[in-house]
Amino acid sequence: MADTDDASLVERVTERLITAVAVGEFLPGTRLPAERDLSPLLGVGRTTVRAALDDLSTRGLIERRRGRGGGTFVAQDWPASIVVGVDRWFEERWSDLVDACTASSMLHSSLARLAAERRTDADITAMRGRLDDFHAAESGDPKQRADSLLHLAIIDAAHNTALRDILLEHERHLSLSAPAHPWGDRGSHRRMETRAAREHDAIVDAIVQATPDEAAELARRHVQIDLELFTEAREFARRRAAEAATG
User: DSSP of 26-88, one letter per residue?
Assistant: S-TTPBPPPHHHHHHHHTS-HHHHHHHHHHHHHHTSEEEE-STT-EEEE-SS--GGGGGGHHH
DSSP 181: P
Domain containing 228 — which CATH number? 1.20.120.530
Q: Which of 162, 161, 156, 151 is nearest to 226 (CA)?
A: 151
- Mean pLDDT is highest, among 67-71, 90-94, 218-222, for 218-222
Q: Are residues 106 and 166 in the same domain?
A: yes
- pLDDT confidence bin for 106, thresholds 50/70/90: very high
Query: End of a domain among 67, 83, 99?
Result: 83
Query: End of a domain among 55, 83, 111?
Result: 83
Q: Which of 137, 123, 144, 145 is nearest to 204 (CA)?
A: 123
Query: End of a domain among 56, 83, 110?
Result: 83
pLDDT over 50 at 135, yes or no: yes
Rounded CA separation 191/198 (Å)? 11
Residues shown for the chain: 247
- pLDDT confidence bin for 69, thresholds 50/70/90: confident
Rounded CA separation 179/111 (Å)? 15
Q: Are residues 40 and 102 in the same domain?
A: no
Average pLDDT in the chain: 90
Q: Are residues 13 and 91 in the same domain?
A: no
Q: Are residues 137 and 204 in the same domain?
A: yes
CB 147 within 8 A of CB 177: no
Q: What are phi and psi of 74, to 5 degrees?
A: -70, 130
Rounded CA separation 143/75 (Å)? 18
pLDDT digits (tens, 9 = 90+) for 232-243: 888 888 887 787
pLDDT digits (tens, 9 = 90+) for 165-181: 999 999 988 888 888 88
Number of domains in the chain: 2
**Where is average pLDDT lowest: 24-33, 99-108, 150-159, 201-210?**
24-33
- pLDDT confidence bin for 92, thresholds 50/70/90: confident
Q: Are residues 55 and 122 in the same domain?
A: no
Q: Which of 96, 126, 92, 97 is nearest to 25 (CA)?
A: 97
By three-state DSSP, how is residue 64 classified? strand
Judged by phi (left if over 0) then psi (alpha if -120 to 50, else beta), residue 184 lies in left
Q: Give CA separation, 76 vs 182, 186, 187, in Å.
A: 17, 10, 13
Q: What does the pLDDT read at residue 247?
A: 63
* Containing structural domain, residue 66: 2-83
Q: What does the pLDDT read at residue 31?
A: 92
pLDDT over 60 at 89, yes or no: yes
Q: Report which of residues 206 and 233 the model is more confident about.
A: 206
CB 52 within 8 A of CB 17: yes
Q: Are residues 108 and 227 in the same domain?
A: yes
Q: Are residues 46 and 64 in the same domain?
A: yes
Q: Are residues 106 and 186 in the same domain?
A: yes
By three-state DSSP, how is residue 65 classified? strand
pLDDT over 50 at 109, yes or no: yes
Rounded CA separation 102/235 (Å)? 19
Q: Are residues 118 and 25 in the same domain?
A: no
pLDDT over 70 at 206, yes or no: yes
Give the whole-number percent of the chain exceeding pLDDT 90: 59
**Where is average pLDDT lowest: 1-5, 26-30, 149-153?**
1-5
Q: Are residues 93 and 137 in the same domain?
A: yes
Q: Are residues 45 and 138 in the same domain?
A: no
**Where is average pLDDT lowest: 42-51, 82-91, 228-237?**
82-91
Q: Which of 106, 186, 97, 203 is nearest to 147 (CA)?
A: 203
pLDDT over 70 at 207, yes or no: yes
Q: What does the pLDDT read at residue 1?
A: 37
Rounded CA separation 234/162 (Å)? 33
Q: Are residues 23 and 95 in the same domain?
A: no
